[in-house]
Structure 1
């Protein structure tokens, strides 16, 4: 996965890289995935994360690994949380001292 995707919600990647180039809309993809269109729209709008269930469905549908979708979500979560929590973590976490053998 390209590093530039870490700051994009997986729904954005789904829309731009998979749906738009194939002329797919949310109604069609939701029906083919077997999920309510509202659930897919929530993912596409960034209001809902990619769950393991959704990753499995997207993987089967688009011929990708479910891990691809889970990694998109994990990278996005780390990016967002890192921006918000970086200062707190820097202040609160004491690194484990490295020991020389």
Structure 2
């Protein structure tokens, strides 16, 4: 049964709310530091672009996380959309 009370959380929202805002990192700064076009990172944060395996690796390296961290969040988001 679909839970209409909770919408799936896009990985970009997690990136923004759990990493960028608490760490006072702007999307521009992160984009520059991980060699990603700022427009692409802004689209991820807005939830209009997916996190690819390449971007997942860059984010994981930057934040000191396992390479699977972002892909697991992406996978969970995609599964929640199907419910």
The answer to whether the superposition gives a TM-score over 0.5 is yes
- Write 1 or 2 for the structure with the bigger share of helix: 1
How many residue pairs match? The answer is: 77
Match of 1:29 in 2: 30
**Distance apart, 1:65 and its partner CA:** 1.0
Match of 1:85 in 2: none
| RMSD, matched Cα | 1.1
Alignment map for 1:40-55 (pairs within 5 Å): 40-55=41-56
TM-score between both structures, scaled by the size of structure 2: 0.89
Match of 1:80 in 2: 81
TM-score between both structures, scaled by the size of structure 1: 0.74
Between Structure 1 and Structure 2, whose CA radius of gyration is higher?
A: 1
- Consecutive aligned runs of 4 or more in structure 1 exceeding 2 Å deviation: none
Mark the runs of 5 or more structure 1 residues left unpaired by the alignment: 1-5, 83-101
Match of 2:39 in 1: 38
Question: Deviations along 1:65-85, whole A, 9 cap, x unmatched?
Answer: 120100000000000122xxx
